Amino acid sequence: MSVAARSGGDAVSIEGRARIVIEGVTPEVDGGRFPIKRVVGQSVTVEADVFTDGHDAIRAELSWRRDTEKEWQRIAMKPLGNDRFRAAFPVDELGRCVYAVEAWVDHLLSWRLELARRVEAEDIASALLQGAVLIEEAAARAAASDAEMLRAWAAQLRGTQPPTARQRIALDEEHYAAAARYPDRSLALRSAPELQVVVDPPLAGFSAWYEFFPRSCSPEPGKHGTLRDCEARLRYAAQMGFDIVSLPPIHPIGTIKRKGPNNTLDPGPDATGSPWAIGSAQGGHTAVHPQLGTLEDFRNFVRTARTHKLEVALDIAFQSAPDHPFVQAHPEWFRHRPDGSVQYAENPPKKYQDIYPFDFESAAWRELWQALADVFRFWIAEGITIFRVDNPHTKPFAFWEWAIGELKGEHPELIFLAEAFTRPKVMHRLAKLGFTHSYTYFAWRNTKYELTQYFTELMQGEGREYFRPNCWPNTPDILTEYLQFGGRPAFLARLVLAATLSANYGIYGPAYELMEHEPREPGSEEYLHSEKYELRHWDVERADSLRAFISRLNAIRRDNVALHSDWSLRFHNIGNEQMICYSKSSDGGTDVILTVVNLDPYHAQSGWVELDLEALGVDAQAPYQVHELLSGARYLWHGARNFVQLDPSHVPAHVFRLRRRVRTERDFDYFL
Amino acid sequence: MSVAARSGGDAVSIEGRARIVIEGVTPEVDGGRFPIKRVVGQSVTVEADVFTDGHDAIRAELSWRRDTEKEWQRIAMKPLGNDRFRAAFPVDELGRCVYAVEAWVDHLLSWRLELARRVEAEDIASALLQGAVLIEEAAARAAASDAEMLRAWAAQLRGTQPPTARQRIALDEEHYAAAARYPDRSLALRSAPELQVVVDPPLAGFSAWYEFFPRSCSPEPGKHGTLRDCEARLRYAAQMGFDIVSLPPIHPIGTIKRKGPNNTLDPGPDATGSPWAIGSAQGGHTAVHPQLGTLEDFRNFVRTARTHKLEVALDIAFQSAPDHPFVQAHPEWFRHRPDGSVQYAENPPKKYQDIYPFDFESAAWRELWQALADVFRFWIAEGITIFRVDNPHTKPFAFWEWAIGELKGEHPELIFLAEAFTRPKVMHRLAKLGFTHSYTYFAWRNTKYELTQYFTELMQGEGREYFRPNCWPNTPDILTEYLQFGGRPAFLARLVLAATLSANYGIYGPAYELMEHEPREPGSEEYLHSEKYELRHWDVERADSLRAFISRLNAIRRDNVALHSDWSLRFHNIGNEQMICYSKSSDGGTDVILTVVNLDPYHAQSGWVELDLEALGVDAQAPYQVHELLSGARYLWHGARNFVQLDPSHVPAHVFRLRRRVRTERDFDYFL
């Protein structure tokens, strides 16, 4: 087996007789430089252009294996026309798989196809002898059980019956199928480079995240919350139907240059500091902030979360406060100014004196890389498998590719969320090099045009092979103007959009469900009295909380597999620029969810949706039921055009399940 | 200098500090697997996505070199926004060039940009010291002439003047430009793999071909023409303005199983045979058919052609007649049937007993490859640089890639035209692997929709980097139904389309200019009494010949650089489905040719053209002249919409040169 490498020059001394061409193998990312991504239980559909010179028949196989195994598994590829072939393989285990396309000129198949077209007895007789040789060669490669049968078949072809009679014998399907199991692969080629797929855990494909600040969980206002205080909050998040609770950094907070409330430079004596100013005399990235509790408290927190079927995501921010132990122990990991002081973060004229970035151009970069990877390893050993990585785009791409590669190699169940809100190519690079999930521009895509363009790009563009969107309507850093001014309808609409457009979504709470909407100052997207800089006390039992709505929405997500993946997203026309309509379908189309959202938080809007019924697998001639899952109401629709009205003073969205009419044997109709 | 290779795994042991990312380098074909193509005197515009983590400034350079040289030449790339950079390099010599993108994080530039934004004296003072260090490092890398100046500059930055005064000195443009010439490339990366461009001779970019059968050139009807008889035909082709005369195979024709007129199996005693049934006792692919003359006659033919500024293209068909010397001398190069006979070409139930294909799966494939390459070498030694390769898609792709690579390596002036009319991916593969020109589907693209779609794909699609169309309205094998039934207007229209849509075109004559249009039988695209199987006598002085029209058209092509390249092709609306309108422009837009063709050979058609005047660089407010170059007529047009009528009983096409009004100092208007 040669690979389909460059055949100029070298080929003369290698194997010039291999006549097959394999090109255009998909899916691939940057020519195989990066892996594609899948979730356990999915499959990879591979296509390739395969052809040879002249008229000979060819065969193509999809080959795949676990990257830890040597033996390839193979499946025949089917021709799609225009020299394109396709096959799929399942990915049932976490980790990496490798795939390629193998193909060869198949003389036995060529012979068979030509024999069927031969007319003159003399030609047939000659071809029968050629075929006998090919079949005997197959017999020599065959398992003993088949070899004898094949030899007997060849003998018949060489026999004394009239050529046309032997032609019929030679064209026997069953005998051919046996011979075809032992093809002559001596001149087969395999596509190069081998392509890779990273197979992630189910939560990578479908998840609802709830981020909250443990230090604000004290039942007593003004008191620093502890991890033990969070038990109620865990139960609360689980009741809302979330899968993952995500915590800001839980490490000791620097005391030098500590920031005060609203990111001021005057902390005052009681300032709690920012959890992202990591490290003090009490420890660094592998320590627990004493005001939150002990490592044992953290273990208990994780255990409790598990009892609620919640996974815990930690925030990993690779930067140090001035009093982080690293600063003393490893001055070589930081950049120094001419006066010998450590260089703090800055973007002139802005200065962040409470943050020391690592110097990844340090001569001691190898030790730094290892130390940072070991931070992950520490928490992995504590049972954490999900990490929200803070500002990964301010650390080298090569570091992340190495670190995630190493860690996922050790623990393929890991999930890394890239907290990068930056330029498109930078975000894509982080996704390519290994981040499991990526934050998106969703928070700033508010109009129908913006949402349609952006989600079409996310779900149908080439990037979907590696960029898995995780959509958040708010984060501790992001309170959009739409939420600042849109009131309750805005919070409801953005929640429905996030939860139904994207299989992976999250909110920062209780700010979200309590509709916190005051910015630090006009024009700012920062929260006033942000939890990043001070303790907050949240009354999660408030009557106007969105908690029940969120619970309902998460239950709908969980119950409907249509919402468990992204690629089936399809937008449908609705004749109102303030309304958006889209569907998602399960594989096979048994579950179809249709969502309609009024994007105008101030006025009732209505319009006629125009569904692509054929794409949805709905019979345009028969009525069908739309079951509104938020309210439980059911409507009978007919045909593509149907009327929808949404009043933001009630709920600005419909989430419909399409139910097709089923007629039973006893002539009893119901909707499935 | 490291290459931007995979940075996972290995990178730890190599260079993890290199923080630059280079991706999406264009142009490239299949990730660098194949070269792009250019013509001497053109340039290659290269783009790439380049970025790094964080906020540091970066610099990117386009690097290129001849593949035979080691030293890279470099040019700074300019940012286009969205992390994309661009630069161009010229290709002034035949052969291959290699190109790549180099980039690095530039601390001096970062320092400069940040220094400009610094406000506080303390910060400025500290930054000045940092800058002094960076400048001293640049001085250490600098040429002696610059080093001293740079050291003096650094000393000023360390000086005693107030920080803001020193800040002004530090931001000096000229000093910075000197320092920037000596960047710190220690952590630079170069994109990988290196990309290649094949630089072809001018005739590869712009050429008019005239194919004819020398054996039909005898002044005496019924007599076998000789190469010496062709002198008049060479003068004739030159007078029509062609650049290349293309000959069918000129080798001895097999006598065994020779075909008769109209491809019949009964040759009769006087049958001349097909020039593509190559080889007899009189020689093979390196011999001249005795009835055409001697090798010396051929040399004389080539010399005479040169006096007319014509290049000679030979037809290379790698197949043998049964009596080709190879069949006896190298039986191992052919496939044998069970009865020991050599396998002739067949596509059951069709049989071609006069043709033996080579067996490229022969164990002796190396010798076969060399022998075939030596056929080219033989004719190259006779001064031939242009080859029309017959049916390359029935020989292995690997062979062609090797052979063309070797031969172009020895003789970069060579031009290979792939005579492959087959499936799109096969034709593209041949173009990718090295064929200079490709035949196209032009002959079968007749409607406005077909022509617009196909030429947009050819001239604007990704394939344009390697697939150079050579458009022929007819060939010895192709007489389309449009020509069979369309009469003179069809021949005129198809000629204008080929010559103005494509920079490279050709005709098979004198059949074309004499409007030969009888098919062998209804539904066939073969000529009746095809020259492939018998002698013809052509009266090239016939009064209705298209000769003068062709001369005019080729003169227009030669005089107007707009028609010398393909990529500027732009279609313009014209409100009549039977009329097509398109333009080509020279670089810079000084020469603009607008062509309008009536595709209906039977009726006069008219319509309003709607020009994209902005794209053509024409002032929509001022009148402009369209100079009809076929007739010499001049019309004054104004604005985008203008009326055109074309009567096929006269000439079914206009070829306009756009002439813009120029006002001189003396207030005298003329059209340039």
Q: What is the pLDDT of residue B268?
A: 84
Whether residue B589 is predicted with pLDDT greater than 90 in this model: the reply is: no
B100 forms bridges with which residues in the sheet? B63
Residues of A with CB below 8 A from B18's CB?
A: 398
Tell me whether residue A23 is one of the annotated catalytic residues.
Answer: no
- Residue A619: the pLDDT is 87
* 3 state DSSP class of A320: strand
Q: Scan residues 27-46 of A and list those with Cβ closer than 8 Å to B.
A: 30-31, 33
Q: Of how many residues is chain A composed? A: 672
Closest CA to A467 of A198, A68, A247, A195: A198
Per-residue pLDDT tens over the stretch B460-485 = 999 999 999 999 999 999 999 999 99
Residues of A in contact with B81 (CB under 8 A): none
CB distance B472 to B575 below 8 Å: no
B166 to chain A, any CB pair closer than 8 A? The answer is no
Contacts of residue A35 in chain B, CB cutoff 8 Å? none
Bridge partners (DSSP) listed for residue A602: none
Kindly tell me if the per-residue pLDDT of A669 is higher than 80: no
- Decide: A272 and A253 in contact? Cβ < 8 Å: yes
Can you read off the two tokens belonging to residue A72?
Answer: 């390839």
| pLDDT for the residue A459 | 97
Cβ atoms B52, B58 nearer than 8 A: yes
Which residue on chain B is closest to A4 by alpha carbon? B398
Nearest to residue B595, comparing CAs of B619, B613, B579? Answer: B579
B120 touches A at CB < 8 Å: yes
Measure A29 CA to nearest chain B CA, in Å: 11
The pLDDT score that the predictor gives to residue B653 is 98
**How far apart are the C-alpha atoms of B200 and A465, rounded to whole Å?**
38
Give the pLDDT score at B103.
97
Strands B579-585, B570-574: parallel, antiparallel or unpaired by DSSP?
Answer: antiparallel
CA-closest candidate to residue B642, choices B662, B617, B624: B624
Task: Using pLDDT thresholds of 50, 70 and 90, give the confidence band for residue A210.
Answer: very high
Average pLDDT (A608-612) is: 96
Alpha-carbon radius of gyration of chain A: 31
pLDDT reported for residue B668: 62
Average pLDDT for B499-527: 97
Q: Which of A476-480, B365-369, B599-603, B657-661 has the lowest mean pLDDT?
A: B657-661
Name the nearest CA neighbour of B120 among B164, B159, B156.
B164
What is the residue type of B296?
E
Q: Per residue in B557-584, is it b (16+ CB within 10 Å) or e — as a string?
A: beebbbbbbbebbbbbebebebbbbbbb
Q: Report the half-sphere exposure of B152 (CA within 13 A, side-chain side).
A: 8
Q: At what angle do helices B231-239 and B295-307 cross, to 10 degrees?
A: 30
* Confidence check: pLDDT of B670 > 70: no
Minimum-distance CB partner of B126 among A339, A397, A424: A339
With CB atoms and an 8 Å threshold, state whether B338 touches A130. Answer: yes
Nearest residue of chain B to residue A336 (CA atoms): B130
Q: Does domain A20-106+188-199 have CATH number 2.60.40.10?
A: yes
Q: Which of A11-15, A607-611, B351-355 comes out lowest in average pLDDT? A: A11-15
Which of A24, A117, A348 lies nearest to residue B118, judging by beta carbons? A348
* B15 band by pLDDT with thresholds 50, 70 and 90: confident
A390 is catalytic: yes
Alpha-carbon span B495 to B492, nearest angstrom: 5
Q: What are phi and psi of B361, to 5 degrees?
A: -95, 10
Structure tokens at B311: 């290049």
User: B668 phi and psi, to 5 degrees?
Assistant: -110, 120
CB contact (8 A) between residue B398 and residue A424? no
Q: pLDDT digits over A539-550, tens only?
A: 999 999 999 999
Q: For an interface test with A, which of B17, B135, B394, B426 has the most A Cβ atoms less than 10 Å from its Cβ?
A: B17
- For the cut 60, the answer to whether the pLDDT of residue A443 exceeds it is yes
Choice among A6-10, B224-228, B235-239, B551-555 with the minimum mean pLDDT: A6-10
SS3 per residue for A72-113 = CEEEECEEEECCEEEEEEECCCCEEEEEEEEEEECHHHHHHH
Q: What percent of chain A has a predicted confidence (pLDDT) above 90?
A: 91
CATH code of the domain occupying B204-319+364-560 = 3.20.20.80
In the block, which residue shows the tokens 């390739």?
A48
Mean pLDDT computed over B183-195: 96
pLDDT per residue as tens digits for the range A163-208: 999 999 999 999 999 999 999 999 999 999 999 999 999 999 999 9
A-contacting residues in B 478-517 (Cβ below 8 Å): none
CA of B651: how far to CAs of B489, B496, B611, B630, in Å? 7, 10, 22, 9
- Establish if A561 touches chain B: CB-CB under 8 angstroms: no
Q: Which residue of A has its CA nearest to B424?
A: A82
* Residue A226, number of CB atoms within 10 A of its CB: 19
- Residue B401 to residue A114, Cβ atoms within 8 A: no
Residues of B in contact with A55 (CB under 8 A): 347, 394
pLDDT over threshold 50, residue B49: yes
Per-residue pLDDT for B10 more than 50?
Answer: no
List the helix and strand counts (H, then E) for chain A. Answer: 16, 32
Q: Report the pLDDT averaged over residues B159-186.
A: 96
- What pLDDT does A526 receive? 96
**DSSP H/E element including B636:** strand B634-638
Q: How confident is the model at residue B295 (pLDDT cuts 50, 70, 90)?
A: very high
Give, as one character, the DSSP assignment of residue B230.
G
* Gyration radius from chain B CA atoms: 31
Integer Cα distance of A515 and A473 in angstroms: 12
- Are the beta carbons of B126 and A337 separated by less than 8 Å? yes
Q: What three-state secondary structure class fits B272?
A: coil
Q: Which residue has the tokens 């098979």?
A: B508
> Is the confidence at residue A6, as pLDDT, over 50?
no
Angle between helix A173-180 and helix A144-157 axes, rounded to 10 deg: 130
Give B267's pLDDT tier (boundaries 50, 70, 90): confident
Handedness of CA B541, B543, B547, B548 (dihedral sign): positive
Confirm or reject contact between A184 and chain B (CB < 8 A): no
Nearest chain B Cα to A432, which residue? B23
Cα–Cα distances in Å, from A198 out to A26, A432, A519?
15, 11, 40
Distance CA B201, CA B199 (A): 7
Q: Is the Cβ pair B133, A425 closer than 8 Å?
A: no
The amino acid at residue B251 is: H
Chain A residues with CB under 8 Å of B357 CB are 54
Q: β-pairing, A437-439 with A415-419?
A: parallel
- Residue A539 CA to residue B54 CA, distance in Å, equals 39
Size of interface A-B (CB pairs under 8 A): 184
- The confidence band for A348, taking pLDDT boundaries of 50, 70 and 90, is confident
The domain ranges of chain B are 20-106+188-199, 125-180, 204-319+364-560, 570-671
Least confident of A45-54, A437-446, B344-353, B421-430: B344-353
Sort residue A178 into left (φ over 0), alpha (ψ -120 to 50) or beta: alpha
Q: How confident is the model at residue B159 (pLDDT cuts 50, 70, 90)?
A: very high
Inter-chain CB proximity B402 and A8 less than 8 Å: yes
Run of H or E residues at B128 = helix B121-141
What is the rounded CA–CA span in Å between residue B397 and residue A26? Answer: 22
Q: Which of B17, B21, B357 sits opposite A365 (nearest CB)?
A: B17
- Distance of alpha carbon B524 from alpha carbon B514, whole angstroms: 20
Q: What is the mean pLDDT of residues B399-410?
A: 98
Q: Do domains B20-106+188-199 and B204-319+364-560 have the same CATH topology?
A: no
Sign of CA dihedral A86, A92, A96, A97: negative
Q: Smallest Cα–Cα separation from B263: which of B537, B529, B522?
A: B529
The model's confidence at residue A7, banded by pLDDT at 50, 70 and 90, is very low
* CATH class of the structural domain A570-671: mainly beta
Q: Would an 8 Å CB–CB cutoff place A192 in contact with chain B?
A: no
The answer to whether residue A670 scores a pLDDT higher than 80 is: no
How far apart, in whole angstroms, are the C-alpha atoms of residue B412 and residue B414? 5
Tell me if chain A has a CB within 8 Å of the CB of B129.
Answer: yes
Q: Decide if B426 and A51 are in contact by the 8 Å CB cutoff.
A: yes
CA A430 – CA A412 distance, rounded (Å): 18
C-alpha B474/C-alpha B493 separation (Å) is 13
Nearest by Cα to A263 from A253, A255, A252, A272: A272
Kindly state the average pLDDT of the residues A13-40: 93
Nearest CA in chain B to A51: B426
* Residues of B catalogued as catalytic: 390, 419
A325 residue type, one letter:
P
Q: What are phi and psi of A595, to 5 degrees?
A: -115, 135
- How many CB atoms are located within 10 Å of the residue A140 CB? 11
Q: Do B362 and A17 touch (CB under 8 A)?
A: yes
A100/A61 Cα distance (integer angstroms): 9
CB contacts under 8 A, A 354-413 vs B, are 357, 360-362, 365-366, 369, 393-399, 401-402, 405
> Across the interface, which of B6, B118, B425 has its CB nearest the CB of A349?
B118
Instruction: Note whether ipTM > 0.85 here.
Output: yes
| Contact (CB, 8 A) for B654 and B596 | yes
Of the two residues B556 and B587, the one the predictor is more confident about is: B556
| pLDDT tens, residue by residue, B532-551 | 999 999 999 999 999 999 99
For residues A317 and A278, the answer to whether their CB atoms sit within 8 Å is yes
**pLDDT value at position A267?**
84
- A351 in contact with chain B, both atoms CB, cutoff 8 A: yes
Lowest mean pLDDT among A6-15, A220-229, B52-61, B469-478: A6-15
Q: What is the pLDDT of residue A58?
A: 98
**Nearest-CA distance B627 → chain A (Å):** 44
For the residues B577-586, what does the mean pLDDT come to?
97
Tell me the C-alpha distance between B277 and B271, whole Å: 13
Task: Provide the shortest C-alpha distance from residue B57 to chain A (in Å).
Answer: 12
Choose among A455, A448, A456: nearest CA to A600: A448
Cα distance between residue A460 and residue A568, in whole Å: 9
**Helix (H), strand (E) at residue B333:** none
- A45/A430 Cα distance (integer angstroms): 24
Average pLDDT over residues B589-606: 96
Confidence of residue B672 (pLDDT cuts 50, 70, 90): low
Work out the mean pLDDT of chain A and round it to a whole number. 95
Strands (E), B251-366: 311-316, 345-347, 350-352
Q: What is the mean pLDDT of chain B?
A: 95
pLDDT band at B269 (very low <50, low <70, confident <90, very high): confident
The partner residues of B51 in beta bridges, in order of sequence, read B21
Pairing of strands B579-585, B311-316: unpaired
Confidence of residue B619 (pLDDT cuts 50, 70, 90): confident
